[in-house]
Structure 1
Amino acid sequence: MADHWIKLLVLSLVMIIQVVHGSENITITLLESAVSKGAVCLDGSPPAYFYDKGYGEGADNWVVYLEGGGWCANTDFCHEWISTKSTFKREKKMQFRHILAPKQTINPDFYNWNRVFVAYCDGSSFMGDVEEVTPAILSGGSAGGMATIYHCDGFRALIPGATRYKCIADSGIFTPADKKDLIGYEKRVHRFDKLIAFHGTDKLLPKSCTSKMSVNLIYTGLDPGLPYSETTWYGCGNDLDFCTCPQIQSMKEFRAEFLKTLQAIAKSSSIGMFVHSCHIHGHFLNFHGWDPSPLLQNKTIAKVIEIGILIEAFFK
């Protein structure tokens, strides 16, 4: 079932969507026809998306945003997780904001593009199993950001006619869990071992990666708060004055490992990064994370993406 889920979703999306562009409230579209082909959410509900049709100069351009929402790795937790993610239960309308906003004053670069928000309902970064557009952007936040990274090559292969495409992961890079001297290593490994086993995602990952390292090191994440389930990070997360010495040390170790990961990524001439130290997880649908946002070279995230996508320049 490898790429089946997301291929069916995007193929169906390209073929059947016809709505009025520029809507403030976008109506959900359920892909009932995908159910018989095995592309379903955890509870059997059909995959779904929200779509606002492009027009004018943006009529042939696409932004596809994959929703985030964490992961689940066992029957009980997945049952609880899908209770809020089932497409049968979610709101039938949503407002498109920031990178998906239909207003030129808010979203001057992409307001008239075809804009799609893909509902996340499989609990495994769309790893359950994407045709001719140009340019095209695949994006997502958190678990959807991780999915953006994993599906980027496949997304490109499914739009061979596209002269330009970009994949933009929002808060989707998680540092490897192979740093055994970081506190919480065993918990991280156990968490993602369960996730991989439960969803069977090991066979969906690129063989070019799995042949060189264990599956857990590819499909894993490091959240500084995760190993400290018995302690409170809320105060520390909002004000450093409330952080304990072990928490400060944990963040320093996390910073060192995170920068090490980024240095490896930075060797690629085709990858751009926007890195900041503000306490924000998920930017593209967040007012304070989009425009305005933290600044890099005096530019917001929205402006950097505009330059990187439309002018083919990259900031590192």
Structure 2
Amino acid sequence: MGKLKCITMDCLLIFTLLVTKIHHVHGDTNVTVTFLDTAISKGAVCLDGSAPAYSYVEGFGTGSHSWIVYLVGGGWCNHISDCRARSSSRLGSSHLMASQTTFSGILDFDCTSNPDFCNWHKVFIYYCDGSSFMSDIEHSHAKNLTFRGARIFNVMMDEMLAKGMRNAQNAILTGTSAGGLATILHCDKFRKLFSDEIRVKCISDSGFFIHGKGHHGYKSREQFFGDVIKTHVLIFQTFISWPSPCLQRAHQRGSRLTSLVLGGVTNCTNNLKSCSSTELGIMRDFRRTFIRTLERRIHSSPKRGLFVHSCYLHDHVLKSDEWTCLTVANRTMRQAVADWYFDRTSFREIDTKSDSPKNCTNSFCL
């Protein structure tokens, strides 16, 4: 048995965890993966038919009745051939997933760097369906492929409710990129798992994507996401009452995301120094439309929040430095999310100091 001590006033107690479940490496926490074999009989399986997977560590002390559920991202597959290729990777098969994952950022157990959420129950749900946990095709239209992301989400919620989430007093659904989009799409369903008096909120990290019609590259975006919808036979509701803050960068970053904004493959997908003046201009124009769209969506409800920066980065809540030290309006991401979640104060801030993407260090705490 290993003893860990929380040193903040919020958790002044010693707790015990099985060392076979977690161990610390350079301040991070590695957690063993659980493969949910019972989900197979329910048809809740990855693209290749393997069992879905999650990692979980029990909460303690004042966090014994509080839960964070995190949905992993990883893009989407938009054609059968693309999904077939994905089924031979960790994003489509649990057979190829690592045996452990690292809990950090909002999932960190360090009560100094993560005082508001360090002792909560923490769930990390792996992504292996290529559809932001939305597909549910009874009979596959492609040989040896299954499209059952929605069922994976449902069985995972059932699993957590059975572990004690049904007794939660606080709950957060969050996710990054494709998992951030899944957070938005599943927020209402997650909220309905709990009674009205329970504080339940959703945090979408880098998961807000816009059409940007009329802007450069919009045909590519339209075609890509249209193909995702067709391949996975998805039907999206027009209105989703998500009470979530958007942890978002104002410029799309990542090879596929940047190419969708710029309308094709480009050398500046991962390095601003490789971008031409024309490409930077396209990104500035897209940023303005992106922010206007986001503000309209968010400002229609007082429950919603914003944390929008201009760093050329993608995903944040699991990155310790960004979670702890990335700042907008003199408040770190951790502080902004905690204040918003606990209703201490609202937070709707956008970095307006620059209309161009910025190269930011990955060591924000230096």
Does the aligned pair in 2 maintain the 1:22–1:112 contact within 8 Å?
no
Task: Report Cα offsets for 1:115-139 as digits up to 9, x if no partner.
Answer: 0110011100011323422200000
Question: Structure 1's 81 and 164: CA in aligned 2 closer, same or farther, altered over 3 A?
Answer: same
Matches within 5 A, 1:51-130: 51-82=56-87, 83-85=89-91, 86-128=93-135, 129=150, 130=157
Q: Tell me by how many angstroms 1:161 deviates.
A: 6.1
Question: Structure 1's 101 and 118: CA in aligned 2 closer, same or farther, altered over 3 A?
Answer: same
Q: Does 1:291 align with 2:324?
A: yes
Q: Quote the Cα distance in structure 2 between the aligned partners of 1:22 and 1:112.
A: 14
Q: Quote the Cα distance in structure 2 between the aligned partners of 1:162 and 1:28.
A: 32
Question: What is residue 238 of structure 1 aligned with on the other side?
Answer: 272
Q: Tell me by how many angstroms 1:74 deviates.
A: 1.3
Q: Tell me by how many angstroms 1:207 deviates.
A: 5.7
Q: Tell me by how many angstroms 1:84 deviates.
A: 2.5
Number of residue pairs the alignment of both structures matches: 279
Letter in 1 for 2:179: G
Q: Tell me by how many angstroms 1:253 deviates.
A: 1.4
By percentage of residues, which structure has more helix? 1
Q: Does 1:196 align with 2:201?
A: no
Question: What is residue 173 of structure 2 aligned with on the other side?
Answer: 138
Q: Does 1:49 align with 2:82?
A: no
SS in 2 for 1:233: coil
Does the aligned pair in 2 maintain the 1:63–1:139 contact within 8 Å?
yes
Q: Quote the Cα distance in structure 1 between the aligned partners of 2:265 and 2:307.
A: 32
Moved more, 81-90 or 225-234: 225-234
Matches within 5 A, 1:295-314: 295-314=327-346
Question: What is residue 279 of structure 2 aligned with on the other side?
Answer: 247
Q: Does 1:225 align with 2:259?
A: yes
Q: Quote the Cα distance in structure 2 between the aligned partners of 1:264 and 1:120.
A: 30
Moved more, 141-150 or 87-96: 87-96
Question: What is residue 141 of structure 2 aligned with on the other side?
Answer: none
Which among 297, 300, 304 is matched to residue 267 of structure 1?
300
Letter in 2 for 1:198: T
Percentage of identical aligned residues: 39
Which among 190, 212, 237 is matched to residue 206 of structure 1?
237
Question: Structure 1's 35 and 162: CA in aligned 2 closer, same or farther, altered over 3 A?
Answer: farther
Q: Scaled by the length of structure 1, what TM-score is found?
A: 0.82
Q: Quote the Cα distance in structure 1 between the aligned partners of 2:211 and 2:265.
A: 23
Task: Report Cα offsets for 1:233-279 as digits up to 9, x if no partner.
Answer: 147x333xx43232122112101211111220223211001011011
Question: Structure 1's 161 and 29: CA in aligned 2 closer, same or farther, altered over 3 A?
Answer: farther
Question: What is residue 26 of structure 2 aligned with on the other side?
Answer: none
SS in 2 for 1:139: strand
Q: Does 1:30 align with 2:30?
A: no
Q: Quote the Cα distance in structure 1 between the aligned partners of 2:22 and 2:51.
A: 26
Query: Unaligned 5+ residue runs, structure 2?
Result: 1-16, 24-28, 136-149, 151-156, 241-251, 349-366
Q: Tell me by how many angstroms 1:223 deviates.
A: 3.8
Question: Structure 1's 22 and 300: CA in aligned 2 closer, same or farther, altered over 3 A?
Answer: farther
SS in 2 for 1:291: helix
Letter in 2 for 1:283: H
Q: Quote the Cα distance in structure 1 between the aligned partners of 2:22 and 2:269.
A: 39
Q: Quote the Cα distance in structure 1 between the aligned partners of 2:38 and 2:269.
A: 44
Moved more, 192-201 or 77-86: 77-86
Question: Structure 1's 30 and 297: CA in aligned 2 closer, same or farther, altered over 3 A?
Answer: same
Q: Tell me by how many angstroms 1:288 deviates.
A: 3.4
Query: Unaligned 5+ residue runs, structure 1?
Result: 1-18, 210-220
Moved more, 224-233 or 53-62: 224-233
Task: Report Cα offsets for 1:161-212 as digits up to 9, x if no partner.
Answer: 65101100000111234x1x2122221111111100111112xx22657xxx
Moved more, 130-139 or 36-45: 130-139
Q: Tell me by how many angstroms 1:297 deviates.
A: 2.3
Q: Quote the Cα distance in structure 2 between the aligned partners of 1:256 and 1:311.
A: 29
Q: Quote the Cα distance in structure 2 between the aligned partners of 1:101 and 1:291.
A: 11
Q: Scaled by the length of structure 2, what TM-score is found?
A: 0.71
By percentage of residues, which structure has more strand? 2
